[in-house]
Structures are given as C-alpha cells and as structure tokens.
C-alpha cells in the first residue's frame, strides 16, 4: 500500500489549494473527492470580504473585521497569510488569463441578475465590467439560451440590450458548457463578433454571459474585442459556473503535472482513527473500496452542499470522522424568523472549530485529532455567502492547513 505525506479529502477550492501547496513543497500528496465542489456554483471571482466598501482599503477592512470577529477563519490565517495565499493563487493564473484586483479594494462588477456585486480578484474576462458606464454599454444574449437574457439584464443595468440569433449553430436549448466549448472554435467567435459589430450603436463596452470559452478564454476575449472595437466582459450567471470550471481544470492540470494522485469522483466513505490520530481512509471506487494512508490529513469537504456536514432533526454532525460540530443550540435556534434575514441564519455559523493550526477541537478547546486539519467552508464562525468571503476563506485556510501539516 502506497503511503503519502498528505491526503486531502475534498476537491473544492480549499482542497485543491491545500494539495497544490503541499505538492509545491515536494510532498507526496493524494486528493480525493466527489467532484468540483462549490466552484461550479460560486467560482466566478475570488471574493475576499464583500462586506468591505469599495472605497476602503482591503487590508484595513479585514483587520477591522478580524478584530470584531476573533473566531473567524481569517483570524487564524492573519492578513499576511491571506496575502501570501492569494499571491500563490494568482501565480497559478499568469497572463493572458489572470486574476487581478482594482488596486487594494473591492470592485463592483455586473451580475446576471442585473445588479452590481463587490469582489476582490476578478478574471481578465470580467475586468472591463468594473469600468463599464451604462450609456456606453451593450448587453448581448443569445436567442434560445435560457440561462441569460440580454434584454432583461440590460433593463436593470440601464444599458441597451439584445438577444442575437445564430441559426447556423443551433443555439436553441444549448447549455452553458456547450456554448463555452463552441466559443473555443475560432470560426464561431469570429462570426459572433461580426454579428455583434453590425448591431452596435457606438457602444464602448459589450457584456456577454460568462461562457467565453473553456480552454482559452483570453483568446476568445481578444477576438471579440478586435472584431467589435469595444471592451468585452463576461457577466456571471446561474450555475454551472464556466469561470469556476476553468479554475478547477487549471488546478487539476497543475496537480497532475506535480505527480499528485488525483481521485476525482471517488468519495471518501470511511476513516480509521486510533489514539486521536487518523491512520487511513477508505475511498470508494465501485465495485471496490481502497484504503490509503498518510502522515497528515486535511478535511475540506465543505458544509451541507458538499456533504461535509449533515443536519438531522436535532443536531448537525460531521459524518466522516465524527468531529464535534459547533452549532447554535436546538433546531428552533438554527433559523431566523425571516427567510431573508439581514443577520443571516445562525445555522450558517455551524462548522468545525479549530486551534491555531486548524486542528479540530471539541467544545472545551481540546484537540480531537492530532494529524487532521480542517479547511474551507466546513470551518465554523463564518457566513461565507452573506460576507462574500467564500473563495478567500478557501484559499487562505487551504494554504495554511497544508503549510502547518507539512511542518508537523
């Protein structure tokens, strides 16, 4: 049986970050999980902390946030840890398809709901959206593509909008993934650019649904900008997230290149624990179940959507290791009285509490597993969706968990 330095359980952004960090340090790494995690749901940009107003310096805002929320995952990583982890993430995405910030502040960019949303690191394919002006912007959708309606989105953004038809390509009922693959074909994007150009009215910006290719979105962007003479940007829409899929594929390529054992679509179904240490995990590979061992483990299985936490009628559990879960009392205390409660629901704080090294602890602060660390949204004391901090928490804690695991 092959022995690893580190096994990462979970293949979302936190797990991918942890596996890459360890592999960069020369460790023998295995990563296993069900699929792409939340990247296909939320992975359009890298949110750090959307609560910080765009006019406020990001470091100033985060330090203030940590001071007010001392149990938050960012209090474990610190600002220096956040910046180091983000720099490593950006290094994985060099130009032409890069992620960048607007100075050291959040930027506002348009969404498929026609609102302006704050985020910190934005891919180059969305960057022009932060600079758009309504009177100089054309929003373009596709007839037959139900996930994005250019004329509807434009109403909320106060821009001109339209849905164009390309009968030759049969876009009726096409999925976002299929449309993104079509964009990778030079002939399609050239024809698309010409079709848009003929219907422009002097606009300087063009917004399209976030489907500008899977393999080489920067090339798609360049072709459309050269053809139309305008700045082109993607607008995030309903899942599945094509930008998130790009991030996943880039990580996967990097892990394979660094000889990481990648078990994608293979859920971890069991763990062997003895004397507060994990001695191995069971990975399902139907019809067989294989066992793998390592010196250190990282649990990055997400919350409820990813299966990292499971809610019963009266309590929330972590199903793999049976780690104690921080939770807000009895079930009646889990939810606020209003669905869209501005304070969010208390259940959103549920998760695994840890020590400074991200090792899980019980209610009295005692470490329960010496060689296991938790990373990502499974951690307690944050409300990632409401805070708009999901990707920042994933990247920062995934990086820290791997660093601390290898130092043990």
Instruction: Say if strands 107-110 and 122-123 run parallel, antiparallel, or are unpaired.
Output: unpaired
d(CA 174, CA 118): 29
Q: Which residues contact 397 (CB under 8 A, 6 or more apart)?
A: 14, 73, 76, 77, 358, 374, 375, 376, 379
pLDDT band, very low/low/confident/very high, at 385 (cuts 50, 70, 90): confident
Co-location of 277 and 333 in the same domain: yes
My answer on whether 349 and 261 are in the same domain is yes
The conformational region for residue 41 under phi > 0 = left, psi -120 to 50 = alpha, else beta, is alpha
The CATH number given to whatever domain includes residue 377 is: 3.50.50.60
Looking at 173, 207, 235, the residue that finishes a domain is 235
**Region class of 26: left (phi > 0), else alpha (psi between -120 and 50), else beta:** left
- Would you say residue 108 lies in a domain? no
Helices (H), 229-358: 242-257
Question: Phi-psi bin for 103: left (phi > 0), alpha (psi -120 to 50), beta?
Answer: left
* DSSP structural state of residue 326: B
* pLDDT tens readout for residues 122-164: 999 999 999 999 999 999 999 888 889 898 899 999 999 999 9
Q: Is residue 88 part of a domain?
A: yes
| Same domain? 141 vs 178 | yes
- Tell me the C-alpha distance between 134 and 117, whole Å: 15
Provide the domain limits for residue 134: 127-235
- Alpha-carbon distance 399 to 78, whole Å? 12
**Which residues lie across from 271 on neighbouring strands?**
281
Count of domains for the chain: 2
Question: In this predicted structure, what is the pLDDT of residue 238?
Answer: 84
Residue 292, in any domain of the structure: yes
pLDDT of residue 348: 76
Say whether both 249 and 216 belong to one domain: no
| Cβ–Cβ < 8 Å for 234, 243 | yes
pLDDT tens-digit profile of 31-54? 999 888 788 887 689 999 999 999
Q: pLDDT tens digits for 294-349? A: 999 999 999 877 888 888 777 889 999 999 998 876 666 666 566 666 666 777 77
Residue with tokens 């030079």: 186
> Secondary structure of the chain: what % helix, strand, coil (to 5)?
35, 25, 40
Residue that is last in its domain, among 210, 235, 260:
235
Residue 338 contacts residue 49 (beta carbons within 8 Å): no
CB 375 within 8 A of CB 398: yes
Token code pair at residue 363: 């209610």
């Amino acid at each position: 049986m092959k022995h690893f330095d580190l096994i990462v359980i979970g293949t979302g952004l936190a797990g991918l970050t942890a596996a890459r960090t360890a592999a960069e340090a020369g460790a023998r790494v295995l990563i296993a999980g069900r699929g792409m995690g939340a990247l296909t749901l939320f992975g359009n940009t890298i949110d750090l902390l959307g609560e910080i107003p765009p006019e406020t310096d990001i470091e100033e805002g985060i330090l203030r946030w940590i001071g007010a929320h001392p149990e938050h995952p960012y209090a474990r990583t610190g600002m220096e840890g956040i910046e180091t982890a983000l720099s490593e993430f950006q290094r994985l995405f060099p130009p032409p398809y890069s992620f960048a910030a607007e100075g050291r502040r959040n930027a506002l960019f348009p969404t498929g709901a026609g609102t302006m949303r704050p985020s910190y690191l934005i891919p180059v394919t969305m960057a022009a959206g932060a600079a758009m002006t309504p009177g100089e912007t054309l929003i373009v959708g596709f007839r037959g593509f139900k996930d994005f309606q250019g004329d509807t989105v434009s109403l909320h953004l106060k821009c001109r909008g339209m849905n164009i038809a390309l009968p030759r390509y049969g876009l009726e009922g096409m999925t976002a993934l299929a449309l993104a693959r079509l964009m990778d074909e030079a002939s399609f994007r050239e024809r698309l650019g010409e079709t848009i150009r003929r219907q422009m009215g002097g606009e300087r910006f063009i917004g399209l649904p976030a489907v500008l290719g899977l393999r080489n979105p920067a090339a798609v962007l360049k072709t459309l900008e050269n053809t139309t003479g305008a700045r082109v940007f993607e607008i995030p829409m309903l899942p599945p997230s094509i930008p998130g899929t790009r991030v996943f594929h880039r990580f996967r390529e990097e892990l394979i290149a660094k000889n990481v054992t990648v078990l994608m679509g293979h859920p971890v179904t069991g763990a062997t624990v003895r004397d507060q240490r994990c001695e191995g995990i069971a990975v399902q590979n139907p019809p067989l179940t294989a066992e793998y061992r390592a010196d250190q483990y990282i649990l990055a299985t997400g919350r409820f959507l990813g299966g990292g936490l499971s809610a019963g009628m009266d309590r929330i559990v972590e199903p793999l290791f049976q780690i104690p879960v921080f939770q807000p009392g009895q079930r009646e205390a889990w939810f606020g009285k209003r669905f869209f409660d501005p304070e969010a629901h208390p259940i959103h704080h549920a998760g695994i509490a840890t020590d400074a090294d991200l090792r899980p602890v019980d209610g009295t602060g005692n470490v329960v597993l010496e060689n296991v660390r938790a990373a990502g949204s499974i951690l307690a004391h944050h409300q990632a969706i409401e805070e708009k901090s999901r990707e920042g928490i994933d990247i920062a804690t995934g990086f820290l968990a791997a660093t601390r695991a290898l130092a043990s």
